[in-house]
Amino acid sequence: AAAKTADECTWGVHSFPLPFEFWVEKMQHGQHLVVPPFEHIPAVCLNPQIKWRSRVHWFLADRWVRKSHPQAAALLCDANGYFTETSTANLFVVKNGKLRTPREEVTLNGISRRVTLELAEKLGIDWSWADLSEKDMLEADEIFTSSTPFGIMPVTRFNDSPMGTSEHGEVFLQLMTAWNDLAGLDIMEQIRVGARERN
């Protein structure tokens, strides 16, 4: 069949090789999250379920963070001081085996977060929506994020404090195994191999 012109199409696909080298060290040793002096855009101004393409707010937040922490990502708070998300990922905190994640009313309810919560339910891991404070972060047993390119990724540093009891906590490893089973491959190994091939 003849190719359709742009004005005849109802959808399009743009693809590119995933830059695994960006995530290989963070998947192995954990990522660093830093809180900048930028608030999350309030839900009354922009519905957090809209995945919009203007990233200026997030770009400025990440740029501010990377002036002093070049490998870190910005973690924003809402107007009440509760943590929301990063520019590319949803946040999870584990305490005493229970999983908590910021409320969907204030953050994008990402597909990877929804998959993670579905897997948690299948594994019998208790989870809940939560307003997460700095105290919650500092007292967490584990912290990780979820996003499409890597599924879930551990957090081992928050601002200037080391986080959690290990690079890969027990709940993280249970969920990563479930992610691997769902995807039909070892995600961390795919990232390691992909990073080597691109270098």
Looking at residue 47, what is its pLDDT?
A: 66
Looking at residue 147, what is its pLDDT?
A: 96
Looking at residue 56, what is its pLDDT?
A: 87
Torsion of CA 120, 134, 106, 155, to 10 degrees: -50
Looking at residue 3, what is its pLDDT?
A: 62
Neighbour tally for 134: CB within 10 Å: 15
Crossing angle, helix 187-198 and helix 170-183, to 10 degrees?
80
Looking at residue 51, what is its pLDDT?
A: 66
Looking at residue 55, what is its pLDDT?
A: 77
Looking at residue 139, what is its pLDDT?
A: 93
The one-digit pLDDT tens for each residue of the chain (199 residues) are 556 666 676 777 778 888 899 999 999 999 999 999 988 877 766 767 776 666 788 899 999 999 999 999 999 999 899 999 999 999 999 999 999 999 988 898 999 999 999 999 999 999 999 999 999 999 999 999 999 989 999 999 999 899 865 679 999 999 999 999 999 999 999 999 999 887 7
pLDDT in tens, 11-61: 777 788 888 999 999 999 999 999 999 888 777 667 677 766 667 888 999
Looking at residue 62, what is its pLDDT?
A: 93
Looking at residue 134, what is its pLDDT?
A: 95
Looking at residue 16, what is its pLDDT?
A: 80
C-alpha–C-alpha distance, residues 39 and 76, integer Å: 6
Q: Please give the radius of gyration of the chain, using alpha carbons only, rounded to the nearest integer.
A: 18
Crossing angle, helix 111-123 and helix 170-183, to 10 degrees?
110
Looking at residue 165, what is its pLDDT?
A: 59
C-alpha–C-alpha distance, residues 154 and 143, integer Å: 6
- With 0-12 CB in 10 A as exposed, 13-18 as middle and 19+ as buried, what is 48? buried
